[in-house]
């Protein structure tokens, strides 16, 4: 028997850290949720308040929006899981129920392999996020280190650290350490949120790929040479049962995938819009700061762009993998010795071939199909909007 929760051990730790693990609903976790959400929301509020106290030029507005949209990305991801906690739990229970029905050793090996893929991907993303968090935590002692090593004065270092423009309605220099603590806290919670929610969705999608792979494996086992050489009543029953089990696991995999997409499709559409707009604004911010020689701001916006592109690429890549695994059952069925099977079996297989001849796409609200082609389309759209902003400045 396979415990699906073991495959999500690291995800469980990350989600527990921000109070979003669906099996943990204590008063402490509810306090965690409120606290984390308020901290993330306050970061965006204090950035937009800068528009009140500062003259709103085009460059300044774009600067505020480019950073505020990035922190809004944290909030949307957090809220996406917060409001769907019950649905995430149902998804894990459905996946566990499906895995409990697997008896064949090869099928168990397949789902274990995809479970190991989940743990590996989660570990890599978590390691990357931890490096980012450590850099953010070390920021307060960088002035002393850099002043000694590179002979740079502390005031310049503080300007590098506070590239994110905020307005707390207090003396920025006097409360610099508290402001820096707030920004670092937001980055820590936000990076954990992106890692935890993103890898959880990724892990569910990887397990769906595993279920599709099991469906293809069952189709491969239908028309074995031994069965075809001796067509009798017993073998007829075996063939019918194997076809039924193959179709059944494929149906469950499709149902699991559809529920996964339907649960998060509203939030995913909003995230897609945020990514396109933010990429355009941050590319324009890089152009403006590069022309002004502000290297630190260029680095900050480059990090934002890299995060958006990585998130978008991984999401679209796993969407394409889901489609490929779903459609693989058609090629597996077509390449089998179905033409040597008895007529009654050929008629049953014909339904699978007719269903499989229709390309299966993972459709989000009928507007977006995750794939590498759509990733390129989103990138092109962002560059187009950047071109519009650039032409407006000329």
Q: If you write DSSP's letter for every residue of 237-267 in order, what string do you get?
A: HHHHHHHHHHHHHHHHHHHHHHHHHHHHHHH
pLDDT in tens, 250-278: 888 888 988 998 889 888 889 998 999 99
Predicted pLDDT at 65? 87
User: Residue 130, Cβ neighbours under 10 Å: how many?
Assistant: 13
Q: What is the mean pLDDT of residues 189-210?
A: 93
Q: Which residues pair with 364 in a beta bridge?
A: 368
The pLDDT assigned to 360 comes to: 55
What does the DSSP 8-state code read for residue 337?
S
Residue 3 pLDDT > 50: yes
What is the DSSP secondary structure assignment for residue 152, as one 8-state letter? Answer: -
By CB atoms closer than 10 A (0-12, 13-18, 19+), residue 162 is middle
**Domain boundaries, position 317:** 4-393
**Exposed (0-12), middle (13-18) or buried (19+): which is 170, by Cβ within 10 Å?**
exposed
pTM over 0.85: yes
Q: How many folded domains does the chain comprise?
A: 1
In whole angstroms, what is the distance from residue 98 CA to residue 324 CA?
Answer: 21
The burial of 289, by beta-carbon neighbours within 10 Å (0-12 exposed, 13-18 middle, 19 or more buried), is given as buried
Cα gap 117→197, rounded to integer Å: 17
Among 271, 138, 202, which Cα is nearest to 10's?
202
Task: Choose between 314 and 150: higher pLDDT.
Answer: 314
Task: Quote the pLDDT of residue 92.
Answer: 92
* Between residues 113 and 251, the one the model is more confident about: 113
pLDDT reading at 52 higher than 80: yes
Report residue 205's pLDDT band, with 50, 70 and 90 as the boundaries: very high
Res 157: pLDDT? 46
pLDDT score recorded for residue 61: 84
Burial of 239 (0-12, 13-18, 19+ CB in 10 A): buried
Using the predicted structure, report yes or no on whether residue 60 has a pLDDT greater than 90: no
Helix pair 176-220, 85-100: axis angle to 10 deg: 30
At residue 211, what are phi and psi to the nearest 5 degrees?
-65, -40
pLDDT above 70 as % of the chain: 81
Average pLDDT over residues 330-353: 68
* Per-residue pLDDT tens over the stretch 334-343: 776 666 666 6
Long-range (24+ apart) CB contacts under 8 A made by 88-93 are: 88/22, 88/200, 88/263, 89/22, 89/23, 90/259, 91/204, 91/256, 91/259, 91/260, 91/263, 92/4, 92/5, 92/8, 92/22
> What is the pLDDT averaged over residues 280-306?
83
């Amino acid at each position: 028997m396979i415990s699906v929760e073991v495959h999500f051990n690291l995800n469980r730790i990350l989600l527990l850290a921000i109070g979003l693990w669906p099996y943990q609903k204590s008063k402490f976790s509810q306090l965690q949720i409120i606290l984390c959400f308020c901290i993330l929301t306050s970061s965006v509020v204090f950035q937009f308040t800068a528009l009140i106290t500062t003259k709103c030029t085009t460059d300044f507005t774009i600067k505020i929006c480019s950073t505020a949209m990035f922190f809004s990305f944290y909030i949307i991801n957090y809220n996406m899981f917060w409001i769907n906690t019950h649905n995430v739990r149902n998804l894990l229970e459905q996946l566990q129920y499906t895995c409990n029905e697997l008896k064949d050793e090869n099928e168990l090996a397949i789902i274990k392999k995809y479970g190991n893929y989940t743990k590996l991907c989660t570990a890599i993303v978590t390691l990357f996020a931890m490096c980012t968090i450590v850099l953010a935590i070390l920021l307060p002692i960088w002035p002393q280190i850099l002043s000694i090593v590179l002979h740079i004065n502390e005031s310049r270092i503080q300007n590098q650290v506070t590239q994110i423009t905020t307005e707390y309605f207090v003396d920025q220099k006097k409360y610099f350490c508290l402001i820096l603590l707030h920004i670092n806290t937001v980055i820590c919670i936000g990076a954990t949120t992106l890692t935890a929610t993103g890898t959880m969705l990724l892990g569910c999608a990887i397990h769906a790929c595993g279920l599709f792979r099991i469906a293809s494996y069952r189709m491969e086992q239908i028309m074995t040479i031994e069965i075809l050489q001796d067509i009798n009543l017993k073998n007829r029953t075996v063939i019918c049962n194997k076809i039924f089990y193959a179709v059944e696991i494929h149906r469950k995999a499709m149902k699991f995938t559809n529920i996964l997409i339907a649960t998060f499709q509203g939030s995913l559409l909003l995230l897609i819009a945020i990514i396109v707009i933010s990429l355009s604004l941050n590319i324009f911010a890089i152009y403006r700061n590069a022309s002004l020689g502000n290297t630190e701001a260029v680095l900050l916006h480059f990090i934002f762009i890299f995060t958006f592109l990585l998130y978008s690429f991984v999401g679209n890549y796993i969407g394409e993998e889901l489609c490929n695994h779903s459609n693989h059952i058609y090629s597996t069925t077509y390449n089998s010795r179905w033409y040597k099977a008895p007529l009654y079996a050929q008629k049953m297989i014909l339904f699978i071939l007719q269903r499989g001849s229709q390309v299966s796409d993972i459709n989000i609200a009928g507007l977006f199909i995750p794939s590498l082609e759509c990733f390129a389309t989103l990138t092109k759209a962002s560059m187009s909007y950047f071109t519009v902003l650039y032409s407006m400045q000329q």
